[in-house]
Structure 1
Amino acid sequence: MIISNLEEINSNIELLAPQSYRNISIIPIKSNSNTKLDLLTLKKGFELGLVEVKECEVSTVNTLIVKNNAVTPLILIDGEEVVGGDQNRLVNATTIIAAKSDMKVPVSCTEKGRWAYKSEFKNSNYIANYKTRRAKEYASRKTSSFQDTVWSSINDLEVKNSFVSPTSAMQESYEQLKIDHNKFIEEFSVADGQNGILIIVDGEIKGFEIFLNNSIYRAFHEKILKSYLIDAEIKDKAFAINIDTAHKIIADAFNSTFEKRESKGLEEFFDFENQEGLGKLYTFENEIVHISYFKKMEEKVGDEFQEDIALKTDI
């Protein structure tokens, strides 16, 4: 499927000065968009008391009710987490909820070992780690239910970090390592006008995200960084950065084949894939509000996934 304004948007993408610390590098992305869209983030909605997240009348693992009391649409971002309720959950796909309305939102549990009311839901400081989101990306193309994939990935995260949460809570794995991440957060600042990011680990481009505007991006800057850092092996080694390779990765993503999927809210929702990676793109009122891209991994027999194949970019 062809999305009419993708070529124009891609031509307006600017890659800003790279930032590096140890074996991690980022390239800030800036797209020159003149959009006047006004979308409320979940974090801001909680802070202003304009958003409520509740369990369904009969609690169910994979559905929450989100009420938007604001006069502007609310955007929920794929992988972002809410904590509390009967279990912590993550949002399955970027969703836009109309002003002054509520809807049932598909979610996945990020805390397998608890099913008992803890508190009212609140915003989390984290989104699902990179490997969980990527595994979810694969699983979502085969089934609408990928809870087991999410649980398995969170378990792998605990094994990797030699840490076991009493309730297998993704949030606690992040908290265990947050001191290690703080220095990177300090080193990787938000550039003027930045509304996206490309992440490089050990000289490999792992993925990128682009949001509607700088305001929404700022709400997710630290969360995205942490989602890659928690899966990375940190080393005292630097790698050169090839901007041309980064440009090509993004251009190839925008030149992929886009397949329209069923949307839950006001957004239009597309899967895309090419030889190097795959991801999702969301639009609203003919504007891209979110695009996420993940480097591919190799499939093994039995539909299990083998960690990173050697898709080394020339960086």
Structure 2
Amino acid sequence: MSQTAELQPLRQLALQLMTLKLGAAKRFEDFVMVPLCRAKPTQTDYRLLSEAIAQGTSSVTEVSDIGVVHEATLTNNSDQPILLLDGEELVGAKQNRITNFTTLAPPRTTMRVSVSCIEQGRWRWASPSLITSGAMLYPSARVSNMRYVQTHNGVLQSDPISQLEIWDSIESKSRQLGLTTPVRSLEDLYRPFDCKLKRLEQAMTASTLQVGAAFFRRRRLIGLELLRSPMTFEKQLPRLVRSYSMEILDDRRSTADVGYRPSLFPTFKDHNDNSDTGFYLDAVTRLFSSLVKSSSKKSSSRGMGYHLQSKTNNGFVTALFLDDSLIHLSALSLPMH
């Protein structure tokens, strides 16, 4: 790939980020969200997988009666593309899964999608198909997939190493949360904290024309999510809040921030003044600058568009573009070991 071809996706990303406005930070205890908003409304011509399944125009099934752990078959019978987000949980069939990539499935198409197992111990039919549970994998587990993909040339094969990392992450998270029962779905992780998570969701409502958010644990950046349209983001915000909030629930015995490196990408030092808003806006601005300066790889998608993947000192970034439009971007920090 030529240097010009490599730079083009970064230019597109820079243009997308330049159009965003940063909103005032919203806080609930240690959890902070900085809204990312567009200046003008943006329409979408695709639907979310959960909507398509509910309307009966899409289905996700095993690839065969035997099944394959790392793949599922998506059938889109509608005239619109369908968006699957990285980390979405699919439950049922022979085993509960999570999606490995953000994928935009073309209209009137049957295709295989890359998934990983979220449920140990079951390989038998629970239902004819997989449906979305409404849950999303928490960031420290999602970043394991990002790391594996980017160290294997952008391709996630049926490799037990990547699968074991996910299982290990879930087991570790269960211990951190003090759970003693086996975890067979993300809901098993989230359910014990349901009351607090609902209060968090109520506090983190979408702002006008919000299309993304940077999430912090106090002044430590956990990650950033960015979608194309305000409508899509508003629908996804509750599950994003639930998944990111799992990173502030562990090890509550300590007042120190744990589980993440001191910062994602650049180093953000505490300001001497008391302006939290100024700190968060500065942190996100520096993150934007870091994103467009990082080295990146462009790779094809199983669906529509292409993936842009990059790595910095302390984190991983993955994005899906369709032509010149950014469909979804995730920037996640590396967990500490």
Please confirm whether the aligned pair reaches a TM-score higher than 0.5, indicating the same fold: yes
* Deviation readout 1:149-186 (Å, 9 max, x if unpaired): 11111111111112144454333111222222111111
Provide the TM-score with structure 1 as the length reference.
Answer: 0.88
Superposition pairs for residues 1-315 of structure 1, below 5 Å?
A: 1-2=6-7, 3=9, 4-32=11-39, 36-57=43-64, 58-119=66-127, 120-143=129-152, 144=156, 145=159, 146-166=162-182, 168-233=184-249, 240-241=276-277, 242=279, 243-297=281-335, 306-307=336-337
- Asked if structure 1 preserves the Cα contact closer than 8 Å seen for 2:75 and 2:109, the reply is yes
Deviations 1:78-134 (A, max 9, x none): 101111111111110011111011101110011112111112322112110111011
SS at match of 2:151: coil
Deviations 1:136-161 (A, max 9, x none): 21122234232111111111111111
Q: What fraction of aligned residue pairs are identical, expressed as a percent?
A: 20
Counting helix residues as a fraction of each chain, which structure ranks higher? 2
Could you list the per-position Cα deviations for residues 166-216 of structure 1 after superposition, in whole angstroms to 9, with x for gaps in the alignment? 454333111222222111111111111001010010311111000011121
Q: Which amino acid in the other structure matches residue 147 of structure 2?
A: Y
Superposition misfits of 4+ residues, deviation over 6 angstroms: 234-239
Closer, same or farther: CA 13–44 of 1 in aligned 2, 3 Å: same
Q: Using the alignment, how far apart are the partners of 1:22 and 1:176 within structure 2?
A: 18
Q: Distance in 2 between matches of 1:88 and 1:228?
A: 20
Q: How many residue pairs end up in the alignment?
A: 299
Residues 247-303 of structure 1 deviation map (CA, whole Å, 9 limit, x = unaligned): 111221133222112321112001112334321011013200001001234xxxxxx
Q: Quickly say closer, same or farther: Cα 1:258–1:206, change in 2 above 3 A.
A: same
SS at match of 1:260: strand
| TM-score where L is the length of structure 2 | 0.83
Contact 2:90 2:133 (C-alpha < 8 Å) held by counterparts: yes
Q: In 2, distance between residues paired with 1:239 and 1:134?
A: 31
Amino acid at match of 2:68: T
User: Per the alignment, in what secondary structure is the counterpart of residue 154 of structure 1?
Assistant: helix
Separation of aligned partners in 2, 1:74 and 1:33: 23
Structure 2 residue identity aligned to 1:227: S
Letter in 2 for 1:273: K
Return the alpha-carbon distance in structure 1 between the equivalents of residues 275 and 75 of structure 2: 46
* Aligned-partner SS, 1:231: helix
Aligned mates of 1:8, 1:22 — CA distance in 2: 34
Root-mean-square deviation (Å): 2.2
Q: Secondary structure at the match of 2:45?
A: coil
After TM superposition, the structure 1 stretch with the greater mean CA deviation from structure 2, 283-292 or 114-123, is 114-123
Superposed CA deviations along residues 233-257 of structure 1, whole A, max 9, x for unmatched, are 3779899341112211122113322
Q: Which runs of 5+ in 2 are unaligned?
A: 1-5, 256-273
CA contact (8 A) 1:39 1:75 kept: yes
**How many angstroms apart in 2 are the aligned matches of 1:246 and 1:56?**
41
Contact kept? 1:114, 1:167, Cα under 8 Å: no
34 and 226 in structure 1: CA distance in 2 versus 1, 3 angstrom threshold: closer
